[in-house]
Amino acid sequence: MAEMGSKGVTAGKIASNVQKKLTRAQEKVLQKLGKADETKDEQFEQCVQNFNKQLNEGTRLQKDLRTYLASVKAMHEASRKLNECLQEVYEPDWPGRDEANKIAENNDLLWMDYHQKLVDQALLTMDTYLGQFPDIKSRIAKRGRKLVDYDSARHHYESLQVAKKKDEVKIAKPVSLLEKAAPQWCQGKLQAHLVAQTNLLRNQAEEELIKAQKVFEEMNVDLQEELPSLWNSRVGFYVNTFQSIAGLEENFHKEMSKLNQNLHDVLVSLEKQHGSNTFMVKAQPSDNASAKGNKSPSPPPDSSPAATPEIRVNHDPEPASAATPGAALPKSPSQPAEASEVAGGTQPAAGAQEPGESAASEAASNSLPAVVVETFSAAVNGTVEGGNGTVRLDLPPGFMFKVQAQHDYTATDTDELQLKAGDVVLVIPFQNPEEQDEGWLMGVKESDWNQHKDLEKCRGVFPENFTERVQ
120-129, 164-173, 438-447: the lowest-pLDDT one: 164-173
Of the two residues 18 and 350, the one the predictor is more confident about is 18
Check whether 330 has a pLDDT greater than 50.
no
**What's the whole-model pTM score?**
0.49
Of the two residues 441 and 293, the one the predictor is more confident about is 441
Going by the DSSP 8-state scheme, the letter that residue 132 receives in this structure is T
Q: What is residue 146's predicted lDDT score, i.e. its pLDDT?
A: 85
Check whether 259 has a pLDDT greater than 80.
yes
- Assign 112 a pLDDT band (cuts: 50, 70, 90): very high
Q: Which CATH code for domain 20-273? A: 1.20.1270.60
Check whether 369 has a pLDDT greater than 50.
no
Of the two residues 43 and 182, the one the predictor is more confident about is 43
Check whether 276 has a pLDDT greater than 60.
yes
188-197, 215-224, 335-344: the lowest-pLDDT one: 335-344
Q: What is residue 163's predicted lDDT score, i.e. its pLDDT?
A: 65
In the chain, ranges of CATH 1.20.1270.60 domains = 20-273
Check whether 449 has a pLDDT greater than 70.
yes
What is the chain's percent helix, strand, coil content, to nearest 5?
60, 10, 30
In the chain, ranges of CATH 2.30.30.40 domains = 320-469
DSSP string, 383-446: EEEETT-EEETT--TT--EEEEESS-B---STTB--B-TT-EEEEE--SSGGGPPTTEEEEEEH
- Assign 302 a pLDDT band (cuts: 50, 70, 90): low
**CATH classification (class only), 320-469:** mainly beta
Of the two residues 170 and 270, the one the predictor is more confident about is 270
Of the two residues 308 and 88, the one the predictor is more confident about is 88
Contacts of 73 (CB under 8 A, 6+ apart): 115
Check whether 234 has a pLDDT greater than 80.
yes
